Amino acid sequence: MADYGQKNRPDPDRLLQLATRETRGKLTVFLGAAPGVGKTYAMLQRARRLKEEGEDIVVGIAETHGRAETAELLKGLDVIPRKEVTYRERLLEEFDIDAAIARKPKVLIVDELAHTNVPGSRHPKRHQDVEELLWLGIDVWTAMNVQHLESVSDIVSSITGVTVREIVPDTVLKRADDVLLVDLPPAELIERLREGKIYLPGNAERAAEGFFKPANLTALRELALRRTADRVDDQMIDILRQQAIEGPWATGERLLVCVGPDSLSDKVVRTASRLASGLNARWLVVSMTQTSDLGGETGKRIDALLDLAERLGAETRRVIADDFVEEIFRIARRENVTQIVVGRPKPRRLTNPFRRSLPDEIIKRFTDVGVHIVTGEEQDVSYAPPRLRKRSPLELALAIGVPVATTGATTLLGLTASNVVHPQNLSMVFLVAVILSGMICGRLSAVIAAGLAFVFYNFFFLEPIHDLSIAKPHQLLSLIIFLAVALMIGDLTGRLREQVGRSRQQAKNTQALYEFSRKLSGTARLDDVLFSTATHLHATFGTGAAILLPDEGELSVQAAWPPDSNLDGTDMTAARWAFEKNERAGHDTATLPQIGWEFLPILTSHGVAGVIGLQMDDRDVLTEDEDRMLTAILDQAAIAIDRAQLVRENAKTTALQESEQLHTALFSSLSHDLKTPLASITGAITTLRQLGDRIKQESRDDLLLSIEEEAGRLTRFVANLFDMTRIEAGTLKIRNVPLDASEVITASIDRIKKLKPDIVVDISVAPDLPMVKGDAAMLGQVLFNLLDNAAKYAGDGPVTIYARQDDSAVAISVTDQGKGIPPKDLDKIFDKFYRRTKGDGRAPGTGLGLSIARGFVESMGGTIKAESPAVRKRGTRFIIRLPVVNPAGAQE
């Protein structure tokens, strides 16, 4: 049963795609084989029908190309005015994406999907404008010809002889919700061309002679039909998987495409894209290299190839291996590959007959996997990445000067020692010059030194002297061997120097990352994390850095270095795009590439936390090593930011929990300390009113006394709340004046006896007790609260008050004979709303008395603490210490 349930379970990836599509707009593409088939006409016709049905449909831009019947369809439709843009002293009209977003219709028509926007626009291509509109939930209708699809652009060029410059990634069509084919037979399309319904007469004649040929149109028509059929097939499979309908896709095709830095790889990728589309298969493009150091043109070439593959819908992966065939075999087995696509250039005339090519080795190794060979002309693989990077004039001067100096010095040394050393042994000294040149300045210097050593050794030390000719045949062999050895040693020395340099740089990067990680690991505050990240980015890349995080729903700069780095409105637009779309934006990207900042999203386990911006005004792009370094810094910063935000959220949660506990205690207190007295007062008043004179005088007096006691209890409760509010708000008005503590003690005892006549209080006040500095009303309230608390827990025993001088303070203690307080609760009894067990059978109170006492005492500059047990392992003692006042009235 479990297996059956799994077998009929819907594909979660397809359900996730379906859920994503519910939140974004729907894309409808009107696809045609060639200009003039009527894509715009069909789109506007359908728009008019929807308009008549009451749909909110607006024309963002529609190209009529001067066709009257198409322009007629625009009448009655809402059209957004075009934006005028000046470019190279020409006034151009472009699609106004901002006006479209502000209008936000249900359906928006955006014609010419492959159009290239004017430089300086928000996006370089119109299909990127459409993507932004879809993310905002706007349904978009658009039109394009099949020749503009990136995967078939090379086929169209070979068929028609016309280079297609405006292209659309295949993924755009693949993500379309509907693809509507607008088709005309080639003969009818050519007839429309001759009637002037496609181009003006002059242009039409040239088009008929070139592009609009029956063979060309038939081939383009087949491409359009196939692409439409492929898209319908994709939709069918999506529906089947979403609804868990069984089908023949359990063992689908999987393609592995092998590419390198040669120009043939472009053709390999495009061929694989068409093959994958025809087979409806997933495909993986792997770049095979033997080193991770892919700088210069090689790295850019690989990056461009992988970008092309991703735009065509492939997965990409970089692989470093010594044995390409073994690595391809391992990947094929692990990824369940059924087809392999690899390129084989046209063999050169002079090749090693015993050396097998990579395609031959793959065919020999794989017996159960189909292998597709893509061939190309010899010039396709003539690309050879330069081994020497561009050097500054100073570096070039050193690269030449060092080998000249070392070989010159070696020659002088050899001439000096030629009388005692045989000339053949001097060749070893010249090898030292080659090694030194390679160690100091690299391979170029080593090669120059080898050449100079060859010339100097022959000219100065081989007979005939001072002549480049060679007299003895065996010397020619020795000289050739010397040159070969010098070149090999120089090359190895230069390579070793470069590898040492790369290793040193990698160690430096690793150390910097370690220091950065260590710094972040010891930082918990979000502001410190952001500041450390911004300064580290500035120090690493030498550019301005800014970190933006959402604040109340709006992205804003939280840290920047240098601190005076400013972001204008366009920069903020790119930053918001990177944050909302989770992709790079700004400098040298697909979104606002003309600005000076590049923005990258900070991706955490909870989603995009913010954006990091790098100021790229003074540089072109990041190198591959820098890009890897930036990725590592982003990962570390994301973890630290995530942790800091979790700490902040945890603190907020703890505060909310404490606040909730206080609110719960307050509501509980209000429920008892307000409800109970009010019920007693209401009951007594109701009894007096209803029975009146029928109540005995003794009972009447008891009811009136109850009303008085409960009203006093309410008054004390409200007073406690008011005092607590004043303490927390810091609005206490304190009269710190000299006062007699013994008088305040006596007044407090008289006050408590009126409330609790049965309480027994023993007083012991030291003679000649000095004056204390404080507020008599506050001190009296403190002593009253302590006596009231002692009365609840003293039981039948007396309450004792002692007052004496203790150094520069007067200590007043209030001691009861109750059960005492557990040690673990001594620190809690001064907290708001904290209650101990019941003392007299009634609720012990609001739990504010002791908290108010502490607030009053501390506001007078004193201290209060509790001790338990106090007497004979029982009771509780509260000790108040207040500063004494000297006779002059100054505090000691």
pLDDT of 800 strictly over 70? yes
CA pair distance 852, 728, nearest whole angstrom: 10
Final residue in a domain of this structure, among 649, 664, 697: 649
Q: Which two tokens stand for residue 499?
A: 């590898």
Most distant CA atoms of the chain, gap in Å: 154
Task: Tell me, yes or no, whether 117 and 152 share the same domain.
Answer: yes
What pLDDT score does 517 carry? 77
Q: CATH number for the domain including 273?
A: 3.40.50.620
Residue 515 lies in a domain: no
Q: Which residue has the tokens 């799994």?
A: 6
**815: which DSSP letter?**
E
Q: What does the pLDDT read at residue 133?
A: 92
pLDDT at 100: 92
Q: CA–CA distance from 88 to each of 91, 474, 592 (Å)?
A: 8, 71, 19
Choosing from 464, 484, 499, the residue where a domain stops is: 499
Nearest to 211 by CA among 262, 145, 150: 145
CA distance 579 to 835: 51
The two beta strands, 799-806 and 863-867, are: unpaired
545, 537 contact by CB (below 8 A): yes
Tell me the CA distances in angstroms from 119 to 35, 94, 116, 163, 784, one per residue in order: 25, 11, 9, 21, 82
Share of the chain above pLDDT 70, in %: 75
Helices marked H in 210-337: 214-242, 264-279, 296-311, 324-334
**66 and 156 belong to one structural domain:** yes
- Helix, strand, coil share of the chain (percent; to 5): 50, 15, 30
Phi, psi at residue 654, to the nearest 5°? -60, -45
Q: Which residue has better confidence, 408 or 654?
A: 408
CATH (domain of 604): 3.30.450.40
How far apart (Å, rounded) are the C-alpha atoms in residues 274 and 519?
50
- Dihedral (CA of 288, 294, 297, 299) sign: positive
Alpha carbons within 13 angstroms on the beta-carbon side of residue 311 total 19
Residue type, 371: V
In a 13 Å sphere around the CA of 112, the CA atoms on its Cβ side amount to 14
Is residue 477 within 8 A of residue 493, CB to CB? The reply is no
The secondary element (H helix, E strand) that includes residue 811 is strand 809-815
More reliable by pLDDT, 317 or 689: 317
Rounded to whole angstroms, the Cα distance separating 227 from 230 reads 5
Does 108 have pLDDT greater than 90? yes
- Same domain as 271, residue 213: no
Q: What are phi and psi of 596, to 5 degrees?
A: -90, 0
The 10 Å Cβ neighbour count of residue 411 is 22
Is the domain of 846 the same as that of 739? Answer: yes
Residue 387 lies in a domain: no
pLDDT at 665 over 80: no
| 30 plus 169 within the same structural domain | yes
The pLDDT value given to residue 540: 81
Query: DSSP of 740-809, one letter per residue?
Result: -HHHHHHHHHHHHHHH-TT--EEEEE-TTPPPEEE-HHHHHHHHHHHHHHHHHHSTTS-EEEEEEEETTE
Residue 221 has pLDDT above 70, yes or no: yes
Residue 57 in domain: yes
296 in a structural domain: yes
pLDDT 10s digits, 325-346: 888 888 887 777 788 998 887 6
Query: What's the CATH number where 41 sits?
Result: 3.40.50.300
Q: Are strands 315-320 and 282-289 parallel, antiparallel or unpaired?
A: parallel
Distance CA 187, CA 165 (A): 27
Give dist(CA 157, CA 587) in Å, integer: 31
Enclosing H/E stretch for 558: strand 554-561
| Same-domain pairing of 342 and 208 | no
Mean pLDDT value of segment 445-469: 73
Alpha-carbon gap, residue 781 to 775, rounded angstroms: 10
My answer on whether 367 and 444 are in the same domain is no
DSSP 8-state class, residue 888: T
Closest to 144 (Cα-Cα) out of 112, 179, 110: 112
Between CA 11 and CA 125 the distance in angstroms is 34
Residue 693 lies in a domain: no
Q: State pLDDT tens for residues 240-262.
A: 445 544 433 334 578 899 988 88
Q: How far apart are CA 876 and CA 758, in angstroms?
A: 20
Q: Is residue 672 part of a domain?
A: no
Long-range contacts (CB closer than 8 Å, 24 or more residues apart) made by 385-392: 385/261, 385/296, 385/297, 385/298, 385/301, 386/296, 386/297, 387/443, 388/443, 388/444, 389/295, 389/296
Residue 475 has a pLDDT of: 59
Amino acid at 90: R
The answer to whether residue 464 is domain-embedded is yes
Q: Which of 311-320, 347-356, 729-738, 743-752 has the lowest mean pLDDT?
A: 347-356
Cis peptide before 464 (omega within 30 of 0): yes
258, 173: one domain: no
Residues 526 and 643 in one domain: yes
- Residue 420's H or E segment, with its range, is none
Whole-angstrom distance between the N-terminal and C-terminal Cα of the chain? 87
Q: Phi/psi of residue 632, each to 5°?
A: -65, -40
Is 359 a member of any domain?
A: yes
Same domain, yes or no: 164 and 18? yes
Confirm if 69 and 40 have CB atoms less than 8 A apart: no
Query: Which band of pLDDT confidence, cut at 50, 70 and 90, is reported for residue 664?
Result: low
The answer to whether the beta carbons of residues 545 and 561 sit under 8 Å apart is: yes
Query: What pLDDT, on a 0 to 100 scale, did the predictor assign at position 479?
Result: 61
Q: Which of 46-55, 582-591, 879-888 has the highest mean pLDDT?
A: 46-55
Q: What is the pTM of this model?
A: 0.49
Task: Quote the pLDDT of residue 46.
Answer: 92
Question: 3-state DSSP call for residue 614?
Answer: strand
Return the pLDDT at 887: 45
CA proximity to 120, closest of 504, 449, 593? 593
Handedness of CA 489, 491, 495, 498 (dihedral sign): positive
CA distance 484 to 462: 17
Helices 264-279 & 214-242 angle (0-180, nearest 10): 60
Choose the weakest-confidence range: 457-466, 510-519, 530-539. Answer: 457-466
Where is pLDDT greater, at 21 or 418? 418
Query: Who's near 275: CB < 8 A, 6+ residues apart?
Result: 255, 281, 283, 339, 341, 372
Question: What residue numbers bound the domain in which 112 lies?
Answer: 12-242
What is the rounded average pLDDT of the residues 688-711? 75
Q: What are all long-range contacts of 524-529, with beta carbons under 8 Å and residues at least 24 apart?
A: 524/643, 524/644, 524/647, 525/644, 526/641, 526/644, 526/645, 526/648, 527/558, 527/559, 529/637, 529/640, 529/641, 529/644
Q: Which residues contact 211 (CB under 8 A, 6 or more apart)?
A: 34, 160, 162
The last residue of one of the domains, among 189, 217, 242, is 242
Number of domains in the chain: 5
Confidence of residue 57 (pLDDT cuts 50, 70, 90): very high
Residues 765 and 788 in one domain: yes
DSSP label of 11: P
Give the range among 38-47, 112-121, 576-585, 680-689 with minimum mean pLDDT: 680-689
Report the alpha-carbon distance of residue 339 to residue 277 in Å, rounded.
13
Q: Answer yes or no: are the C-beta atoms of 784 and 853 closer than 8 Å.
A: no
What was the pLDDT predicted at 101?
A: 92
Q: Are residues 549 and 637 in the same domain?
A: yes
Task: Report residue 383's pLDDT band, with 50, 70 and 90 as the boundaries.
Answer: very low
Q: Which residues contact 576 (CB under 8 A, 6 or more apart)?
A: 555
Q: Distance between CA 95 and CA 871 in Å, rounded? A: 90
Q: Specify the CATH number for the domain of residue 772.
A: 3.30.565.10
Count CA atoms within 13 Å of residue 853 on its CB side.
26
